[in-house]
Structure 1
Amino acid sequence: MLSRLQEGDTCLDLVLNHVEEAVQVVNREGITVYYNQVAADMDGLSQDEVLGKHILQVYPSLTLETSSLMRVLETGKPVLNQQQTIVTSTGKTVTILYSTFPLYRNGVLIGACDISRDITKIKELSERVMELQAELLDSKTSGRKKTKNQEMGNFTRYTFNDLIGSHELMVKLKVLGQRVAASSSPVLVVGETGTGKELVVQSIHNASPRKHGPFVAQNCAAFPATLLESILFGTVKGSFTGAEDRPGLFELADGGTLFLDEINSMPLELQSKLLRVLQEGVLLRVGDTKLRKVDTRVIACTNVDPEEAVRKKELRVDLYYRLNVVSLRVPPLRERKSDIPALTSHFINMYNRKLGRRVTHVSEETGMLFFAYSWPGNVRELQHAIEHAMNVTSGQVIELEHLPAHLRQLNNSGTDSESMVVKGEHSLPEILKNVEKRCLLEALQKSGGNISKAAVQLGIPRQTLQYRLKILGLLQKYNS
């Protein structure tokens, strides 16, 4: 049977490409030998990217223990009607309902077959219905309505599918984030300003068992020490002038998640109290003598190197080690420039809806400039650049002239030490062409000369990469 699949049974292929289920078959070693088009569409991959590759290579979020195909190959027993959330190699998060069967020939196990269906939307809709039912019940019993700001029932809106990007660093971040979400351990998220740390934090919360609980966020740099203490831990009447019996954010987030941004800005004396809550699960309201138990998961963020913050005595070393049980680094945009086209398209679509515009794409020169720039403000800076351009353009294409002034004047600014050093005899198009060439060559080198893999790394269609290679006179060298 497997030899027939490997040779390509045309009739069977026609049938399996028209069913609603995704079908994947692996041989005894875990190598994919059949993969229908439904599976390819569900995973956001091409059949060529999966066939002939090991199952764990294609799905980085899976392990020998969590992959049903590998488990069936190990035990020889079927796995029926199971639900699982996976992250594909393109960074897409998918929830599937699947059954996996062993394949025997003459009593000998020769492979396994997985039949699955994408239920991501169904799962989201069912959860939303449950949330609406809970809100309706609460409004009936309390006599008040929920606010419309509760977009997911807990004042959050982002999931892992809102983290745009298929670069290896982003895929790893999503995979680890999904795994971390299942526990209640503290998490430390590290990343420069504008990289999207809060998106990661909200995604962890909404992928966790606490997703129906509260999500409470607080910037630790926003208030002085005395006020921040009462905000976090609460107060009792008479503890200071005007104080009332009020719960703090820890109690308000009980059963859910408390997001503490800029944790290194929290005064050191408060950090010791935070450490106690993390270690013992109890707190004292300001002015109180009664210990209160809380079940609140803490996710902290910092935009500076936490070890540097420890050296500067901005962060207690014991608190750092307690928070650093799980550490997630959100990469800056300059380290994942292959995601720029996908991010650009996402922001164009977003502002088309908000501003009522019909912009379709950026010009070739603008796209090259985006690749050349170092983006010190990261994804947020790119978003603001797109928003600026779409406010001033009247056409369907974003040209260089529509960009903010600091981007238009890059050839004179000398701010990007890596790629914006402009020599008098070179024009901006020449510089951008050289930068583009270097980016393409680096992607091809990492992919071993495979154009399809390089296109995935760069976040562009294979045809676009082939066209750019042709323009740069490199296509014949890498055409395979």
Structure 2
Amino acid sequence: SVKTKHVNVRVIVATNVEPKILLEEQKLREDLYYRLNVIYFHIPALRDKKEDIPDLVDHFIEISNKKMNKNINGVTSEVLDFFKGYNWPGNIRELENTIESAMNFADGDLLSMEDFQTQYSSEVPEEVVNASSPAIPKGKGLKYAVEEYEKYLIKTALEETNNNCAKAARNLKVPKQTLHGKIKRYELDCID
């Protein structure tokens, strides 16, 4: 066609490196920077906004429920603690993919640590290990890390409830029978 057609467009650009740094390193042309920098939003990384994790988890579960025709109601407190201790190098997309992947394995109403064991590589990211959790020996896999963290959380709940299994189960938001099975597996003690 020889006819000119005028269009009105908006260009939205995102980068994982501060544009000014790219400009200083001469990886971004100055004229392009000033053309694009009409309105600037700085959105912090997920690792800097961990208080947003519960809402994001609920949002991604809702999306995945619709996609997969499931009815998952949320995650256990152990999963939420695990997520808050993780550094999320893949940012919000990693969280979204983690939730969707776990939902493929989920059987219950809540996503538990077991639902997340198969989706990561055999190496545990160092960021997963935080100051309050037991140390993870180098070369151990995610399954080991999850079990150690779960054991730590159960021991803590039992200590806080004077080894009262029913109270610990309520605090951990898991059925008493589930907690009994885990206590037996980890060779812990509790009072019924």
Q: Aligning the two structures, in what range does the TM-score lie when normalised by the shorter sequence?
A: 0.5 to 0.7
Q: Deviations over 1:8-49 (max 9, x none)?
A: xxxxxxxxxxxxxxxxxxxxxxxxxxxxxxxxxxxxxxxxxx
Q: Report the residue type matching 2:149 in the other structure.
A: L
Contact 1:351 1:390 survives alignment (8 Å)? yes
For residue 401 of structure 1, report the CA deviation from its aligned partner. 1.4
Which of the numbers 71, 89, 94 marks the counterpart of 1:381? 94
Q: Report the residue type matching 1:337 in the other structure.
A: K
1:245-256 mapped onto 2 (5 Å cutoff): 254-256=7-9
Q: Report the residue type matching 1:423 in the other structure.
A: A
Gaps of 5+ in 1: 1-243, 260-298, 434-466, 469-480
Contact 1:345 1:361 survives alignment (8 Å)? yes
Q: Deviations over 1:387-429 (max 9, x none)?
A: 11111112211111111546596xx624318837852699424
For residue 311 of structure 1, report the CA deviation from its aligned partner. 3.0
Secondary structure of 1:365's partner?
helix
Matching residue of 1:416: 127
Contact 1:392 1:402 survives alignment (8 Å)? yes
2: CA distance between counterparts of 1:348 and 1:430?
Answer: 26
Residue 16 (structure 2) pairs with residue 308 (structure 1): no
1:173-184 mapped onto 2 (5 Å cutoff): none
2: CA distance between counterparts of 1:364 and 1:375?
Answer: 18
Contact 1:337 1:371 survives alignment (8 Å)? yes
2: CA distance between counterparts of 1:365 and 1:408?
Answer: 20
Secondary structure of 2:41's partner?
strand
For residue 355 of structure 1, report the CA deviation from its aligned partner. 1.0
Matching residue of 1:80: none
Q: Report the residue type matching 2:8 in the other structure.
A: G
Q: Deviations over 1:194-227 (max 9, x none)?
A: xxxxxxxxxxxxxxxxxxxxxxxxxxxxxxxxxx
Q: Report the residue type matching 1:390 in the other structure.
A: M
1:429-440 mapped onto 2 (5 Å cutoff): 429=150
2: CA distance between counterparts of 1:422 and 1:396?
Answer: 28
Quick check: which one's strand share is greater? 1
Secondary structure of 2:13's partner?
strand
Matching residue of 1:349: 62
Change (3 A) 1:429 1:422: same
Change (3 A) 1:311 1:246: farther
1:265-304 mapped onto 2 (5 Å cutoff): 299-304=12-17
1:104-253 mapped onto 2 (5 Å cutoff): none
Contact 1:385 1:404 survives alignment (8 Å)? no
Contact 1:369 1:432 survives alignment (8 Å)? no
TM normalised by structure 1 equals 0.27
* Corresponding residue pairs, total: 146
Contact 1:363 1:399 survives alignment (8 Å)? yes
Change (3 A) 1:342 1:320: same
2: CA distance between counterparts of 1:375 and 1:333?
Answer: 7
Change (3 A) 1:417 1:390: closer
1: CA distance between counterparts of 2:152 and 2:2?
Answer: 64
Q: Report the residue type matching 1:416 in the other structure.
A: E
2: CA distance between counterparts of 1:342 and 1:255?
Answer: 35
Change (3 A) 1:348 1:315: same
Contact 1:363 1:398 survives alignment (8 Å)? yes
For residue 321 of structure 1, report the CA deviation from its aligned partner. 3.1
Which of the numbers 327, 331, 351 marks the counterpart of 2:40? 327
Secondary structure of 2:99's partner?
helix
Change (3 A) 1:361 1:246: farther
Q: Report the residue type matching 2:85 in the other structure.
A: A
Quick check: which one's helix share is greater? 2
Change (3 A) 1:428 1:309: same
Change (3 A) 1:408 1:342: farther
Contact 1:359 1:398 survives alignment (8 Å)? yes
State the structure with more CA Rg. Answer: 1
Which of the numbers 61, 73, 79 marks the counterpart of 1:366? 79
2: CA distance between counterparts of 1:376 and 1:332?
Answer: 9
Identity of aligned residues (%): 32
Secondary structure of 1:328's partner?
coil
Change (3 A) 1:424 1:333: closer
Change (3 A) 1:354 1:336: same
